[in-house]
Amino acid sequence: MNIMPKPTILKQGERYTFSQYFEMPYAPEDILAELGCTLVRSRLNLPQVAEVSAEYGFLKHYLERNLTFVNPISEISRREILIAPTLMEVCAATDASLKIEYSVNVNDWLRGNLDYYITSPNSLLVVEAKQADLAKGFTQLAVELIALDQWVKSSPVDEQILYGAVTTGDIWRLGTFDRKARQLSEDRSLYRVPEDLETLLKILVAILRSHPDSSASP
Helix (H, G, I), strand (E, B) or coil at 80: helix
pLDDT digits (tens, 9 = 90+) for 95-123: 999 999 999 999 999 999 999 999 998 88
- Indicate the residue type of 15: R
pTM value? Answer: 0.90
**CA-based Rg of the chain, rounded to a whole angstrom?**
18
* pLDDT reported for residue 217: 43
The CATH code belonging to domain 45-216 is: 3.90.1570
First to last CA, the chain: 53
Per-residue pLDDT, 46: 96
Contact yes or no for 203/174 (Cβ under 8 A): yes
Low-confidence ranges of the chain (pLDDT < 50): 211-218
Q: What is the pLDDT of residue 74?
A: 77
**How does DSSP classify residue 17?**
B
For residue 162, which phi and psi values (nearest 5 degrees)?
Answer: -105, 145
pLDDT at 78: 86
Cα 161 to Cα 75: distance, rounded to the nearest angstrom: 28
Cβ density class 177-206: b for 16+ within 10 Å, e for less: bbbeeeebbbbeeebebbeebbbbbbbbbb
Residue 110 is predicted with a pLDDT of 98
pLDDT computed for residue 39 by the predictor: 98
